[in-house]
Every structure is written in C-alpha cells, then in structure tokens.
Structure 1
Amino acid sequence: MKQSLYLKQAQKLTMTPQLKQAIKLLELPIIDLDTKIREELENNIMLEKSNIEFEQNDKININKDLEKNQLEWTQTNNKKNNSEENIESTLSSSITLRDHLMWQLEMEKISEKKIFIGKVIIDSLNDDGYLNESFSTIKNILGPETNIQDREIENILEIIQNLDPVGVGARSIIECISLQLDRIDKKTPGIKLAIEINKNYFNLFTQKKISKIKDLLMVSDDDLRQAILLIKSCNPHPGLSVSNQITQYAIPDVFVKRINNNWVVELNNSLVPKIKINNLYAESINSIQEHKALKMQLQEAHWLIKSLNIRNQTLAKVAINIVERQKAFLEKGEEYMNPMIMKQVASDVDVHESTISRIASNKYMHTPRGTYQFKYFFSSNLEGKKGGTSSIAIKAKIKKIINNENPNSPLSDTSISDRLHLNGIKIARRTVAKYREDMKIEPSSKRKATRWQ
C-alpha cells in the first residue's frame, strides 16, 4: 500500500469563543446574568458601569389593525425607578428545624449527656419532623463506648416530642397525630373518639370508609363529625411548619401587560448593571503596541456588550411571538391555551430550535394571570373536530368538569372523556386519567363526598 499526502477541502461549523459566550448568556436567567456581569466588571478593566440603558434599539413596534384581531407590540426596557413593575430579588430566610429544636432542648434542665443524645435524635429527623432511624442506629452513632440504653433514648425522645412544633419526633403518622391530639383539652367535644379512631381505625379513616367506622363504634353522626374534624386539624408534616429552606422568588425576565387594548412586552433589565467601554483606557492603549493583554480585554468587552444585545433582542422576539400566539390564554385563561411547539417559534423568529429550548428552560414571564416559565406555554396538540387543542387547555377543561360535578356522584374518566367528545375534543379515557393524575386529582371512587367532609 502506497502512502501519500493530499489536501481535502470541507466546510464545517466552528464554535468560536464569541458564539460560546452568546449561547452562555442566552441560557442565563436574570439573577445569574446579573452575577455574570458584575464578575466581568471586576475582572475586565475595559468595562465600566453606564448610567444609561443598553445601547440598542429598545423599541420594536409592530403596528397592526386591531379591528382584525391583530396587535401592536412594544418591547422596551423596564425602568429601574418604576416601583410597580420592578420586582427585586427578595430572599426570605428562616432558622432550620434543627436549630429551632436545639435551642428548646438546651433550655431544658437536663444533663450534658442527655443533650448529646437529643442532638443525635434531632439530627436523625427528616424534613417532615419524623424519626426514621431505629434506636440501634442511633446507638451506633452515639458510639458503643457511651453504653446508652434504649430506655434512655426513649426518655429523650419523649422530651423532644413535647417541644414545638407539636408532633415532631414521631415515628409514624399515627403517632404524629396522637401527639397532637394529646395536646388538646380533654374536655373538647369528640376528643376521646378522635383518639380512638386514630389509634384503632386509622386505615379506615384514610380510605374514607366513614360509614364503617360509625357502625363499628356505634356513635352518632354529630360525635363522629366532631372527631373527624379534630383529626383533620392535625398537621401530618409538623417539621415543615418550621422552614428549613431559603425561599427564592422567581424573578421575571419579561413583563407582559395590556395597555389600551395593546399587549406590551418589556424586558426586565432593572436588576442588571448597564455596562459600556471605558473610553479612557481604550484610547490610551491604542498608541501602545505592547499592551496585548489590555487589547485582549478590550476585545472581550466588545464581545460581551454585543452578546448582551443579541441576548436581549432574541429574548424579546421570542417573548413577543409567544404572547402573540397565546393572546386567547392571556385574555380568557387556560382553557383557551393554543397548542404551540418550539419548532414553530424558532421558524417565526428565525433561530435554531435549540435556542428556543435554552430560552424556555429557565426564563420567566410575568403576565396579568401570573408568573410562568417560558416552557409552560409550549404544549402538545390533540386533534379534534374544531382543530387542534392544547394539552394545557384540555387539563383545564377536565379540572372544570370535575369542579362542577355532583359531589355525591363523581364522574368517571370515561364520562369525562365522553363530555369532551361532545365538545369536539377526541381524547381517550387513559389520557384523561393521565392528565387527572398530573393535576393530582383523585379518581371518582375517592372523590365521592361524604356528609362528614
């Protein structure tokens, strides 16, 4: 075999640093974008904050005839001094369940050894406040050299179960409810019956077999009703009443509002620092050939500003297209959501489908109906007599049908499917069941109302 060298010409797409940066910025939600820009301001001497808005064409006007059910769209930057529309990145924090229990335990007049045992028990609680670890596991954590007995752990657990929130430290939901019922005044009507139901008939209670409980206990309707209300007043997740998470509110990347019958789309740039080239440094390096590092920073600064402008323009175009397609939803609600896929939007705004996916994954849109992720507006299409229907719209119709059903005779999935067929929506029973489960709605057998509920 003879070896030889030859040239071959071919075309291929190369991922340049500029393109990588533009894609990365497009993926970032507004909070992360703010962090990214602040980091660049600290690291790149050629950048500085600007007191004016981004240097770009901030207004996109599409004038159409309103009488033909078309809209005028305006995209502007959200002004920082507009307090009504400016949503700050508010974080509310609170102490953890562990901290809440530890300071109470330390207030108890007990020995250091008992506090040590209590600490291990508290560390073993899950977020709901339940103790899932066995005593043998707790003894292994404490160490064999401590020679702790089960009774000692039981005594400390009883102390923890008397702390706030009531019900914490339980080893089962029955024990959790029992701890809470024990705190109720024994003179309260129905308390004794509630304790007995929780202890001996809890499975029947969870299965909503109220009539069977009544027959077994031979009690009146009023007594049973009072007992059930007491059980339902208990919190099965006591640990969650003490927040162990930092609540972070979604910050909209886009605001949508209606002004004089026109839908207005605004980018939320109020949280993002405005940047520009530092002309003082930029001009000074033009005459100095040796400053290669500074020249590289200047080039990166230009790339960043250009990438930010591309990000804003692309985000605005996608938001405008979504709002234009989902006008009926914005005006009338979920039942009027139109089916929409990413390929359609990508074709309209002339970008790749992957670009739409990046935007939809972690961006939020604030509308008069609430704040939604971009991806919420994309849904599958179910064909029917009246054309395609969005899966979101069908879920809303199913929910409406169930909310309006006779509570004493709930509709089966088949009956719901038949009703949707009458409205021109062809949907199988199993699809109705799937959508109902997605909305966490119980089947008809469990929705049946009782006079005690």
Structure 2
Amino acid sequence: MDLAFHMTQEQTQKLVMTTQMREALSVLEMSSEDLRQYVTERAEQNVFLGTERQGKRARRSSVSAASSTRSARNAPPIENMVIANWSVIDEIKQQLLFLDCASDERAWALRLAEDLDENGYLGPFSPELLTRLHLNETQWEAAVACIQRCDPVGIGARSLTECLLLQLHTVSTEIRPIAGAIIRNHLEDVANGRMVQVARRLKVTVDELRLGLDAIRQLNPRPGAGYGTSSVNYIRPDLSVIQTDAGFTVVVTDTLFDVSFQHERYQEMMHDAEVDVRHYLVEQWKEARWIRRCVVQRQMTLQRIGEAIVQLQPEFLENGLEYLRPMRLRDIADVLEIHESTVSRAIRHKSLATPTGTIELRQLFSSTLHGDSGDVSGAAIKHQIRDFIRSESRDDPLTDAAIAARLNETGVKVSRRTVAKYREAMGIPGSMTRRLQAPLGG
C-alpha cells in the first residue's frame, strides 16, 4: 500500500448553481401574486427598475386619498356600522383577548387561531409550525387547549372524533356513556349499518344504541360553519385558454407585471459620474436587465406550456375534467424539448383558466388507471368520485366500496383503497362523517 503524497491533475465537470441561476428558477416558480410582490420590492431598491402601471397606481392612490377624506366627513355614527364577514377566526381571537389564561399561552393561541379552517378545525402538529408560527409542540398543545375553551363548543378540534367528544358533556348523563363509546370506537361501524354487532359489543340493546346515535346527531360536527369568511380570495389564473373560431388561444395573464426600464437621467450619469457612483449604477443596471430577462423568460415558458396542453388535451379543454387524458411532466417536456424539472418548477403555484373552469396546473398531471376503453387519468377518476358523492342520498351516503363498484361498472378497474386515497386527497370526508353531517346540510 502506497501511503506517500502525490500531486495529480485531473479534469472534471460539475454544475455550479450561481446566484443568478437560483433567482431565475425562483422567478419561474412564482405565482402571479408572488411575482407582483417581488417586482414591486425590487423596483423600490433599483433606480432603473419599475412596473408599467406604476404611474397609474400613483395617480389612483392620490384620487383614492381625496375620496377617503370626503367619505370620512360623511361617515355614519359608529353605532350604525356593522362588521362584515365576521369569521370564525375573528370570533375566536375576540374571545381569546378576554380568556382567563397565561399571557404567553394567549399569544400562542392568537397566532394558532389563524390556522382554523372554515369548519373550526385545526390541523395536526407539524415541523412547519416551528418556522411559520414559532411554536414547538408543547406550546402548540397549550394554544390548542386555550382555543378549545372558546365557544362554540368543539372549536379547535383536530378530528371529527375530538370535535364530538368536546361536546359530549352536553348529552344527557343517561345516554352519555353509550354516545361516548360510539364516538370513540364505533362511528364507522354504525355508519355502515352494523348496529347489531355494535350493540352486542357495547352490551346494550339496539334501541339504546339508536338513542346514543340520535344524541350524536344533535352535536355539531362543524362548529365554525355558522360564520363568514375572513376574506374573499379571488383566483387570478396565470394562464388562460380562450376558445375562438380558429381554435384555442393561450394567453399569459400576468402581463400586468411587465418590467420596464426608466430614469434615463441615471443612464446618462453612468458615463459622467465619479468612479464609485458609476460602479454602483452599472451594477444596478445589470441587475435590472437580469430581472427583466427572468420575468420575460417565465412568461415565454408558461406560454409554451399552455400551447403544449392545448396540443395534448383538446377534449379536456372542450368538455372538462372528465375527459382529461393521462399526462406526465415528461410528456410536456418532450413536446417542448426542455428538462422535466423545468416543467415541474414552471407549473408550481400556477392555475389555468379554461372554457370549462379554472384548475391548478398540477391537477392536470396525475397517475394513470386502466379502463376497458383505454387509460384514464387519476384526475378524471377524482371528478367521477366527486360527482357520485354529490348525487348520493344524505341519509345513505356511498361507502368507498360502493363507489369502487360503480367505477368498475363504467369500465374503470379501481379498488376501494384507491377510492379512499383519492377521496381523502380531495378533502372529502368518509361516508360516516357525511352521514353525521347530513342534518346540517339542508
């Protein structure tokens, strides 16, 4: 074995990710709203950079300020004003301000309350909460406990079972043990009609079991549903496919954020200024050109992806999700002769407006299932599952097995497990939960 030191020379190749390359990829991934914010922030820092409508916004803001001043003089008295769109988040935050708890726990709960969904539920603990809300698991548990002390009862639950158990004290003491046992262990069995088996396990009669189930149905599985929403979020699609007499036309809809060069005075100064000033302006000029190039490249990439979708998915664009063909990222990449990772980055956080509705671009790419008449996309199967559930009886909702059987009748070979996976991916609860929610659905 030779342990001596030697000096050798070899040639290797490797890809070095420069700062500019990272910025270009970041711009490619941005949604329209993120791009608008990004360009606005960079325009505030760069003397050569601006947006095409910056001047118009400035003129509108001055008019708005004058209008606001006139409106303030004629404002109605405060007792005649109402709070619009009072959401469940607003309600819980209001209660937390007066809740008898430690100040640090209140602060944690106020931050966590922002995560309440429209039904009043919280998600499970995740490492993402550490960075987004700066809460560790112990602090999160304390915050959840504070929120669950608020009204309506059941708020802040992390599952249907927990939501119903939080309300169990409102059930009469005679029925409470049976109702509690059903909630903890037998909701699925009862929802699937296995009443005799559950009664035998709980050592009660079927009539007593029905009394417990009736009590559960009086509970509220969606305690936050009676409130409005905290804000209205309008979807601004990044791409639009418009049907014309000549066929489909693709339009990139984020042209509002076109980057412009401005301040010719600074361009002249680059040639006449002192060395330090000239160096600073040259760097600013290079940065402005690069940002504009990134934005233009993003628009061109989205345009080409939209045109490839028109080429590969004409039936979907004409008739909707049910006619979506199986499509992979590689299919688009092959058509455009670009790398698959570029397509993946470009479609992230983007949406597509079509004649049949608006959809996230990622939903167009899904797994492939085999049917009697050919391959079927996972997105099309999800669409069928949603249609089946929408048309089901509220008193007798479809189980996953029943949905799988219906799909098999249409020629699509799919298992109950696959139906459950797709249903959960769409955020649709199981048949048990849908049956419990039926009295509130009307």
Task: Give the structure-2-normalised TM-score.
Answer: 0.62
Q: Counterparts in 2 of 1:272-291, with a 5 A limit?
A: 272=257, 274-288=259-273, 290=275, 291=278
Q: Summarize the Cα distance change of 1:336–1:285 in structure 2 as closer, same or farther, 3 Å threshold.
A: same
Match of 2:302 among 305, 312, 315: 315
Distance 1:173 1:22, change over 3 A: closer
| Percent of residue pairs identical | 28
Question: How far apart, in 2, do the equivalents of 1:174 and 1:94 lie?
Answer: 18
Mapped to 2, the partners of 1:316 and 1:300 lie a distance apart of 25
Q: Residues 88 and 224 of structure 2 are in contact (CA less than 8 Å); yes or no, is this contact kept in structure 1?
A: no
Distance 1:4 1:334, change over 3 A: closer
Amino acid in the other structure paired with 2:30: L
Aligned to 2:81: none
Q: Partner residue of 2:313?
A: 326
Match of 2:30 among 28, 31, 40: 28
Change (3 A) 1:427 1:304: same
Which of the numbers 354, 376, 379 marks the counterpart of 2:363?
A: 376
Contact 1:92 1:247 (8 Å CA) reproduced = no
8 Å CA contact 2:241–2:352 kept in 1: the answer is yes
Q: Check conservation: 1:167, 1:179, Cα contact below 8 A.
A: no
- 1:368 is displaced (CA, Å) by 4.1
| Equivalence map 1:83-98=2 (5 Å) | 96=90, 98=92
- The residue type paired with residue 34 of structure 1 is R
Q: Which runs of structure 2 are paired with 1:38-437 in the superposition (5 Å)?
A: 38-51=40-53, 96=90, 98-102=92-96, 115=100, 164-167=151-154, 173=163, 176-178=166-168, 198=179, 206=187, 207-208=189-190, 231-236=216-221, 238=223, 250-260=235-245, 262-269=247-254, 272=257, 274-288=259-273, 290=275, 291-398=278-385, 400=387, 413=401, 423-427=410-414, 431-432=418-419, 434-435=421-422
Aligned equivalents of 2:153 and 2:419: distance in 1? 40
Report the CA distance between 1:320 and its aligned residue: 2.4
Distance 1:266 1:96 in 2: 39
Bigger relative contact order, structure 1 or 2 (CA pairs below 8 A, ≥6 apart)? 1
Q: CA deviation at 1:294?
A: 0.9
Contact 1:204–1:210 (CA<8 Å) still a contact in 2? no
CA distance in 2, matches of 1:282, 1:258: 44
In structure 2, stretches of 5+ residues that fail to align are 56-84, 114-119, 123-137, 139-144
Query: How far 1:356 sits from its partner (Å)?
Result: 0.5
Equivalent-residue separation in structure 2 for 1:274 and 1:7 (angstroms) = 44
Q: Which amino acid aligns with 1:99?
A: K
Amino acid at match of 2:287: E
Would the alpha carbon gap of residues 117 and 374 (structure 1) be closer, same or farther in structure 2, given more than 3 Å must change? closer
Partner in structure 2 of residue 188 of structure 1: none
- For 1:12 and 1:295, how far apart are their aligned partners in 2? 30
Shift of 1:46: 1.9
Task: Report the CA distance shift for 1:258/1:167 in structure 2 as closer, same or farther (over 3 A).
Answer: same
Give 1:253 deviation, angstroms: 1.7
Q: How far apart are the structure 1 equivalents of 2:180 and 2:16?
A: 69
How far residue 358 of structure 1 moved from its aligned partner, in angstroms, is 0.5
Displacement of 1:263 in angstroms is 2.9
Distance 1:428 1:96, change over 3 A: closer
Amino acid at match of 1:235: N
* Higher-Rg member (1/2): 1
Structure 1 regions of 5+ residues with no counterpart?
A: 54-90, 106-114, 131-140, 142-156, 182-190
The answer for the alignment partner of 1:88 in structure 2 is: none
Taking a change above 3 Å as real, the CA distance of residues 342 and 220 of structure 1, as seen in their structure-2 partners, is: closer
CA contact (8 A) 2:40 2:50 kept: no
The 3 A distance-change label for structure 1 pair 300 and 3 is same
Return the TM-score normalized by structure 1: 0.60
What SS class does the counterpart of residue 275 from structure 1 fall into? Answer: strand
Question: Structure 1 residues 38, 92: closer, same or farther in 2, change over 3 A?
Answer: farther
AA paired with 2:223? P
Which amino acid in structure 1 is aligned with residue 36 of structure 2? D
Tell me how far 1:52 sits from its aligned partner.
Answer: 9.9
Q: Higher helix share goes to which structure?
A: 2
Is the contact made by 1:194 and 1:228 (CA closer than 8 Å) also made in structure 2? no
In 1, Cα distance between equivalents of 2:221 and 2:414 = 37
